[in-house]
């Protein structure tokens, strides 16, 4: 790119140097001239004032009155006239004279005493001092009004530009009598400054030429030195930097060396070090990019293997499974060194796994795949749960020598009996909810050593008998260790209150996992503190004809599900067809009343208990109904007929308001079965 000369640093530095020389010279001359002329003017002002005061001290008002009134000089007048001429001639003052203000005039003054040479009117004449006596002067330039002059007021020296004499400085003092009063006369001195100012201007002109010559010489020396010591090295540095940036010469800085320029030499050395560091940093960045790419590839491979090991949907069959299971792995970024799994051991038995490694890394992610495969192999071998865990632990220890281990919780649910057996090998304590208790609490699952950590571990199972609606919630340490404000952790301070909220507790398993995960993310003080973790929820669903329940939505689909649920229970308990139809209508009307009290997105729990020994049916609907009895409707209300029908059909209807949910209980005595 072509660069203009006047935009270069050299041109700017030379212009700056010349401008500084001119400005400094002009300022120096102006200051000297101003100070010199000011002091010179003060000197002549003081001189004029002192001479005027010296003559005023020798004069008396009586003598001046006599001369003014009689107009005849005497011996005393001659002495005074000689004194005036002596003071003028010995001091360089042009004129010394005495004047008196004339009354009834604006600026006329009478001459009383003067030196031999005096200015009268517009003509400069040589008069004898005697002939000057009584002459009239018009003094427009005197800085006093006639009233002030007649009072004898003082005035400072002043300058006046006379058309004949030139520049004058006039000083004057009033003459006082012995008692200190004004005598009516002023002593004035005139000093002509034309020759003085001419000498001053000549001196200033000579000084200006001398200063200009000195400025030119010094500027030339300065420009030579700055070009040699600064401009040329900077130009070389610029050219070297441009060559490096354009790729023409990568070693341009290696040959730079400057005489006397210590800072510029340091700058060149700094550039050389900086370029060397840039080359090293480029190599490091290249190596780091290769490592990051390799790590990213390894991470994708490990996460891909981990995802491939996650469970698929259970095989379809005609009758529904007696359980529901759902799981999820949450990983914001990086490796997910945790997993969940579930699979069938036979038609009615389900095995669930939740595990993680204590540390994160590619090795740990690949180890999870191996450990998970090993554990599933032993669980499917026909061994009991504790034996399968011990065998897997022995094999993993032999493989890793205790350096790698797996925290895992393994459980087996028998769908026929509801028996759940589990072994906790270093994993988090799960949460357990009994349907009747409607609250999650910690399961009493003793934690053993992690798999692969030690070869001498004896695992034992925890046995739980589940009923319809009982749930288990499993999670890994990544969720429990999320830190909130202060020293709080999610697993200790927030997990159980979160899952026991009504909407979370009654939600289906997928929605429950989602809400717990969202609450964990909101609990974290910083999003970077949320690591990878696995979640798994399990619900036992096998019905019992004596007591069963179902979860309903507050819409038409929920009403249809309510009918299917009640029909199944009535058929299982052999309720007569005629009474079944009546009870189905009663259940539908009761649920309609509850839906009317609840919010649009409310969820309800319907529970049906049948006691054949007592021929008693208990239908309970639980949900958020605003604390109001759904059967308490106005006389002319739309649902008044439904409320009356429920009361007529049932033997007893009870309403109970709770802090989390409201409950309506309908009790009906059944007809006795035939043959009993």
pLDDT at 544 over 60: yes
What confidence category does residue 516 fall into, taking pLDDT thresholds of 50, 70 and 90? Answer: very high
Average pLDDT value for residue range 237-252 = 66
Kindly report, residue by residue over 261-282, the tens digit of the pLDDT.
Answer: 566 667 767 777 777 777 778 7
144: left (phi over 0), alpha (psi -120 to 50) or beta: beta
> Could you give the C-alpha distances from 282 to 254, 269, 574, in angstroms and in order?
20, 20, 83
**What is the mean predicted confidence (pLDDT) over 514-533?**
88
Q: Is 260 a residue whose pLDDT tops 70?
A: no
- Per residue in 631-658, pLDDT tens? 998 888 788 888 999 999 999 999 998 8
Helix axes 61-70, 75-89, angle to 10 degrees: 110
Q: Label residue 109 exposed, middle or buried (CB < 10 Å: 0-12, 13-18, 19+).
A: buried
Residue 423 pLDDT grade (very low, low, confident, very high; cuts 50, 70, 90): very high
Domain 39-199 has CATH 3.30.450.20: yes
Question: Given a cut of 90, is residue 534 above it in pLDDT?
Answer: yes
CA 599, CA 592: separation in Å to the nearest integer? 13
Confidence of residue 393 (pLDDT cuts 50, 70, 90): very high
**Mean pLDDT confidence for 400-427:** 90
More confident residue, 269 or 183: 183
Look at residue 234 in the predicted model and tell me its pLDDT. Answer: 73
pLDDT for residue 429 is more than 70:
yes
CA–CA gap between residue 461 and residue 445 (Å, rounded): 9
pLDDT score at 262:
62
Band of residue 422 on the pLDDT scale cut at 50, 70, 90 = very high
Q: Please, what sign has the CA dihedral across residues 69, 72, 78, 82?
A: positive
Rounded percentage of the chain residues whose pLDDT exceeds 70: 86
Coil, strand or helix: which one is 476? coil
**275, 278, 283, 289: CA torsion to nearest 10:** -160
The most confident of the ranges 41-45, 149-153, 422-426, 526-530 is 422-426
609: tokens are 């208990």
> Over 70: is that where the pLDDT of 563 sits?
yes
Average pLDDT score over residue span 87-95: 74
What angle is formed at CA 241 by the lines to CA 235 and CA 245, rounded to 5 degrees? 145
pLDDT band at 91, cuts 50/70/90?
A: low
How much is the mean pLDDT over the chain?
Answer: 82
Q: Hey, what are 491's tokens? A: 């697993």
**Highest mean predicted confidence (pLDDT) among 410-424, 627-641, 661-675:** 410-424
Question: 127-141, 334-348, 573-587, 608-622: which range is least confident on average?
Answer: 127-141
pLDDT category of residue 406 using cuts at 50, 70 and 90: very high
Per CATH, which fold does 309-540 belong to? Phosphatase 2c; domain 1 (3.60.40)
Q: Which residue has better confidence, 82 or 448?
A: 448
CATH 3.60.40.10 placement within the chain: 309-540
Q: Is the pLDDT of residue 518 over 90?
A: yes
pLDDT digits (tens, 9 = 90+) for 433-472: 987 777 899 988 788 899 988 888 889 999 998 888 889 9
Residue 5, pLDDT score: 47
Separation CA 58–CA 98 (nearest Å) = 12
Provide the pLDDT confidence category of residue 133 given band limits of 50, 70 and 90: low
- What per-residue confidence (pLDDT) applies to 489? 92
- For 364-378, the pLDDT digits (tens) are 888 888 899 999 999
pLDDT attached to residue 9:
61
Neighbours of 199 (CB within 10 A): 12
What mean pLDDT is predicted for residues 542-548?
Answer: 73
Mean pLDDT lowest among 300-309, 383-392, 471-480, 569-578: 300-309
Q: Classify domain 547-669 at the CATH topology level.
A: Heat Shock Protein 90 (3.30.565)
Contact between 296 and 496 (Cβ < 8 Å): no
Higher model confidence: residue 641 or residue 195? 641
Residue 328 pLDDT greater than 50, yes or no:
yes
Residue percentage of the chain with pLDDT more than 90: 21
Four-CA torsion 70, 74, 78, 79, nearest 10 degrees: -110
Confidence of residue 128 (pLDDT cuts 50, 70, 90): very low
The pLDDT tens digits of the residues spanning 288-324 come to 877 776 667 666 766 677 777 778 788 888 778 888 9
Residue 122 has pLDDT above 60, yes or no: no
Which of the given ranges, 204-213, 345-354, 541-550, has the highest pLDDT on average? Answer: 345-354
| pLDDT of amino acid 132 | 58
Spatial contact of 13 and 222, defined as CB atoms under 8 Å apart: no
Provide the pLDDT for residue 287: 80
In contact, 48 and 219? CB cutoff 8 Å: no
Q: Is the pLDDT of residue 659 over 90?
A: no
Cβ atoms of 215 and 192 within 8 Å: the answer is no
Cα 593 from Cα 639, distance rounded (Å): 7
């Amino acid at each position: 790119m072509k660069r203009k000369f006047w935009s270069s640093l050299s041109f700017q530095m030379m212009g700056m140097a010349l401008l500084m020389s001119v400005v400094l010279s002009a300022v120096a001359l102006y200051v000297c001239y101003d100070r010199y002329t000011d002091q010179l003017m003060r000197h002549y002002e003081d001189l004029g004032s002192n001479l005027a005061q010296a003559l005023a001290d020798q004069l008396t008002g009586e003598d001046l009155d006599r001369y003014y009134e009689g107009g005849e000089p005497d011996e005393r007048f001659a002495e005074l006239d000689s004194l005036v001429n002596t003071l003028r001639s010995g001091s360089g003052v042009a004129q010394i004279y005495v004047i008196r203000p004339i009354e009834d005039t604006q600026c006329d003054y009478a001459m009383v005493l003067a030196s031999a040479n005096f200015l009268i009117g517009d003509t400069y004449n040589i008069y004898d001092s005697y002939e000057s006596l009584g002459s009239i002067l018009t003094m427009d330039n005197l800085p006093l009004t006639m009233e002030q002059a007649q009072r004898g007021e003082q005035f400072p020296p002043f300058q006046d530009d006379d058309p004949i004499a030139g520049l004058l400085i006039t000083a004057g003092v009033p003459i006082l009598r012995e008692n200190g009063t004004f005598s009516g006369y002023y002593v004035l001195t005139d000093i002509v400054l034309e020759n003085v100012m001419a000498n001053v201007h000549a001196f200033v002109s000579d000084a200006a030429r001398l200063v200009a010559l000195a400025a030119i010489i010094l500027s030339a020396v300065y420009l030579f030195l700055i070009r040699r010591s600064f401009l040329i090295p900077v130009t070389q540095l610029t050219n070297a930097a441009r060559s490096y940036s354009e790729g023409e010469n990568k070693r341009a800085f290696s040959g730079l060396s400057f005489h006397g320029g210590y800072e510029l030499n340091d700058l060149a050395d700094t550039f050389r070090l900086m370029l060397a560091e840039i080359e090293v940093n480029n190599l490091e960045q290249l190596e780091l990019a290769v490592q990051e790419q390799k790590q990213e590839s390894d991470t994708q491979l490990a996460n891909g293997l981990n995802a491939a090991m996650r469970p698929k949907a259970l095989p379809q069959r005609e009758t529904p499974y007696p359980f529901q299971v759902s799981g999820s792995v949450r990983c914001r970024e990086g490796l997910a060194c945790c997993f969940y799994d579930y699979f069938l051991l036979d038609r009615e038995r389900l095995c669930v796994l939740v595990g993680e490694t204590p540390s994160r890394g590619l090795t740990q992610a690949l180890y999870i795949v191996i450990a998970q495969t090993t554990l599933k192999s032993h669980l499917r071998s026909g061994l009991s749960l504790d034996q399968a865990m011990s065998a897997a632990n022995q094999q993993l220890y032999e493989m890793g020598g205790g350096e790698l281990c797996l925290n895992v919780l393994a459980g087996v649910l028998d769908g026929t009996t509801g028996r759940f057996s589990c072994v906790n090998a270093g994993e988090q304590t799960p949460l357990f909810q009994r349907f009747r208790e409607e609250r999650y609490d910690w399961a009493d699952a003793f934690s053993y050593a992690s798999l692969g950590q030690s070869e001498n571990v004896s695992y034992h199972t925890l046995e739980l008998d589940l009923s319809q609606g009982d749930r288990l919630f499993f999670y890994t340490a990544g969720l429990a260790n999320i830190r909130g404000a202060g020293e709080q952790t999610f697993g200790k301070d927030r997990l159980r209150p979160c899952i026991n909220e009504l909407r979370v507790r009654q939600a289906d398993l997928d929605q429950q996992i989602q809400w717990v995960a969202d609450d964990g993310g909101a609990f974290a003080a910083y999003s970077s503190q949320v690591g990878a973790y696995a979640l798994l929820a399990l619900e036992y669903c096998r019905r019992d004809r004596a007591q069963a329940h179902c979860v309903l939505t507050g819409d038409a689909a929920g009403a249809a599900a309510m009918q299917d649920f009640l029909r199944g229970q009535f058929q299982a308990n052999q309720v007569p067809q005629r009474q079944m139809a009546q009870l189905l209508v009663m259940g539908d009307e009761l649920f309609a009343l509850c839906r009317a009290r609840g919010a649009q997105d409310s969820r309800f729990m319907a529970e049906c208990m049948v006691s054949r020994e007592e021929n008693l049916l208990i239908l309970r609907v639980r949900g958020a109904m605003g604390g109001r009895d759904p059967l308490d409707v106005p006389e002319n209300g739309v649902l008044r007929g439904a409320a009356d029908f429920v009361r007529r059909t049932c033997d007893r209807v009870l309403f109970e308001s709770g802090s989390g949910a409201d409950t309506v209980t309908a009790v009906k005595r059944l007809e006795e079965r035939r043959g009993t």
